[in-house]
Amino acid sequence: MLENTSGIHVLVIVVIVALEVLALVQVWRDRSRSDLVKALWTAVIVLVPVIGLVGWAVNWLLGRAADRLNRSRGPAA
């Protein structure tokens, strides 16, 4: 099965798997999300590897940016 696999293919697979593991750890460490949302993100990341990973990364980065904006503005008057 892996006899036609070159070193670069193995490297790409290892990088994708490492990024997916990192994404799954971040999903389950997030205290602001419900368990249902965490389960849905887990399913998307695992079942649609590259697209799910990119979707999660965009969502995570936008969420962090929104949190920073909210913190910098302070509480609403």
pTM (two decimals): 0.74
Look at residue 64 and give its three-state secondary structure. Answer: helix
* 30: its two tokens: 């997030």
Helix H or strand E segment including 67: helix 49-73
Helices 35-47 + 7-29 axis angle, to 10:
170
Q: How many CB atoms lie within 10 A of CB 53?
A: 19
- Portion of the chain with pLDDT greater than 90, in percent: 51
**Residues 50-76, mean pLDDT to the nearest whole number:** 85
Q: Which pLDDT band holds residue 17 (cuts at 50, 70, 90)?
A: very high
Domain definitions of the chain by residue range: 7-73
pLDDT category at 44 given cuts 50, 70, 90 is: very high
Structure confidence at residue 60 as a pLDDT band (50, 70, 90): confident
